[in-house]
Amino acid sequence: MKRIDEIAKKPERRETVIQFGEGGFLRGFADWMLQKLNDSGIYSGSAVIVQPIPQGLAEQLNSQNCLYTHIIRGVEGVETKIIDVVSRCINPYEDYEAYLALADNPDFRFIISNTTEAGIAYSEGDSIGDAPPRSFPAKLAALLYRRYKNGLDGFIVLPCELIDRNGERLKEIVLRYADDWGLESGFADWLEEKNHFCSTLVDRIVTGYPKGEELRLGYEDRMVNTSEYFHLWVIEGDKQLADELPFHKIGLNVIWTDNMEPYRTRKVRILNGAHTSMVFCGLLNGFETVKSCIDDPDMLEFIKTCIYDEIIPTLDLPKTELLEYADSVMQRFANPYIRHSLSSIALNSVSKFKVRVLPSILEYVRRKGEAPKALAKGFGCLLKYYKIGAPDDSPKNVEFIKNAPLPEILKNRELWGQDLSFLKDEVAEYAD
């Protein structure tokens, strides 16, 4: 059977994007979007991938000319596409000069990254003379310094790591390295004036290589990637920058805004809040996955009540937007190609409940004057599971909830940040 690089040829394009991270997420998110944009004819540009850690997939991607198949699957159907927008992969641990040389090309305008939540972190002792420095921000600082020394304009930096205010945090660490390394003040000024570090929110489940499945592509591809249909990229920054990478003009769900917090709140309260509310009701009733909960009429009704009747009324975005997002969440929960286990969602649920669900309960009480019954049920089931099940949380949290009476649990400000005794009647029915 022929390889993918023997049956597909890449168009010649300018290299415009530097991408830190060759894993499934960026290849099924940013690169997929870049492919759609190139296919539309309103943009022409490719990405160079930089492998951010010593072990990675750069060699495998290069071995098939950085071509790979992306398959989108869900209740909507199946869509298969060969992605040809990655021009090459660079491993800075093998060829650091090739990495630094990226700073010499004025065509590069964007830097996109996904180096895991731990990637945007300061590493003590990283030096500009290292080849390469250990941390991603130090590698980026070295690249940006070379760009500055070349007298070129800076970049639009779009980090996709799942940490709050990721753009601000990345910029802060880069500036710290500039100070550590004793670089001239003009570099810090250039960073501030010629670069845009945008905080972002990303949302798409990318399920990676479909192990154990017979795909029948008609060619060999060792880098097949899969994802759901849903995608969302919220970018906080100057809206004029959107025209430089005009995803929004071809119907992609990419939002440029001067305030991303309402979108973060929407995701945390609706998507993550529904997960945390359903998980222990599901586990106590013998369900194993989100999909199995959706397939059960009683659990489905419970989840819909949580989202549509109790969470959405506490949020301030336009109702049409909230309903459209909620509908997409329900569709994602029903995806037959994604096995999202309840046990994985249940990890560290005390802290998750405090962030994802409790704010909805408190706001509902403030607006309606009564407790939301379905969300209170989810809370009660959480407490019951911690008493009789095998929760995966800090030993201190587990031990306290398992042994303390309900009134003491609800009064524990260390757990919940406040006294929740006012929920006793609604929670007691399910917690005891």
Whether 72 contacts 226, CB under 8 Å: yes
What tokens appear for 30 in the block?
Answer: 């940013």
109 to each of 7, 45, 103, 144, how far by Cα in Å? 31, 10, 10, 12
**Distance between CA atoms of 225 and 215, rounded to whole angstroms?**
11
Nearest to 357 by CA among 283, 270, 289, 258: 270
For residue range 337-388, list pLDDT tens digits in order. Answer: 999 999 999 999 999 999 999 999 999 999 999 999 999 999 999 999 999 9
The predicted model gives 333-338 an average pLDDT of: 96
Q: Which amino acid is at 1?
A: M
Q: With a cut of 70, say whether residue 261 has pLDDT above it.
A: yes
Contacts of 370 (CB under 8 A, 6+ apart): 364
pLDDT confidence band for 157 (50 / 70 / 90):
very high
* H-type alpha helices, 240-370: 261-266, 273-284, 290-294, 297-304, 319-333, 342-345, 349-356, 358-368
Whether 424 contacts 379, CB under 8 Å: no
Q: With a cut of 80, say whether residue 108 has pLDDT above it.
A: yes
Taking each helix axis as running N to C, give the angle between helix 273-284 and helix 297-304, from 0 to 180 degrees, rounded to the nearest 10: 150
For residue range 32-86, list pLDDT tens digits in order. Answer: 999 999 999 999 999 999 999 999 999 999 999 999 999 999 999 999 999 999 9
Mean pLDDT, the chain, rounded, equals: 96
> Which residue bears the tokens 């419970």?
302
Q: Which CATH class is domain 262-431?
A: mainly alpha
> Which residue bears the tokens 């194993």?
288
Q: Which CATH class is domain 4-258?
A: alpha beta
Dihedral of the CA atoms 36, 37, 40, 42 (nearest 10)? 180
Burial 289-322 (b: 16+ CB within 10 A, else e): bbbbbbeeeebbebbebbbbebbbebbeeeeeeb
Percent of the chain with pLDDT over 90: 97
Predicted local distance difference test score (pLDDT) of residue 70: 98
Q: Is the dihedral of CA 30, 36, 37, 38 positive or negative?
A: positive
Q: With a cut of 90, say whether residue 116 has pLDDT above it.
A: no
Domain boundaries, the chain: 4-258, 262-431
For residue range 197-247, list pLDDT tens digits in order. Answer: 999 999 999 999 999 898 999 999 999 999 999 999 999 999 999 999 999
**Distance between CA atoms of 227 and 209, rounded to whole angstroms?**
9
For residue range 6-42, list pLDDT tens digits in order. Answer: 999 999 999 999 999 999 999 999 999 999 999 999 9
For residue range 300-328, list pLDDT tens digits in order. Answer: 999 999 999 999 999 998 999 999 999 99
Q: How many CA atoms lie within 13 A of 156 on its CB side?
A: 18
For residue range 296-305, list pLDDT tens digits in order. Answer: 999 999 999 9
Count of C-beta atoms within a 10 Å radius of residue 31: 26
Predicted local distance difference test score (pLDDT) of residue 148: 98
Q: Which amino acid is at 254?
A: V
**Distance between CA atoms of 22 and 321, rounded to whole angstroms?**
33
Predicted local distance difference test score (pLDDT) of residue 63: 98
**Distance between CA atoms of 294 and 278, rounded to whole angstroms?**
10
Rounded to a whole number, what is the distance in angstroms from the first to the last CA of the chain? 61
Predicted local distance difference test score (pLDDT) of residue 51: 97
218 to each of 6, 7, 77, how far by Cα in Å? 12, 10, 20
Out of 112-121, 192-201, 353-362, pick the least confident: 112-121
Predicted local distance difference test score (pLDDT) of residue 37: 98
SS3 of residue 186 by DSSP = helix
> Which residue bears the tokens 């031990």?
399
Q: Which amino acid is at 215?
A: L
Predicted local distance difference test score (pLDDT) of residue 117: 67
Instruction: For residue 126, report the phi and psi dihedrals to the nearest 5 degrees.
Output: -60, 135
Whether 262-431 and 4-258 are alike in CATH topology: the answer is no
> Which residue bears the tokens 């109790």?
310
pTM score, whole prediction: 0.91
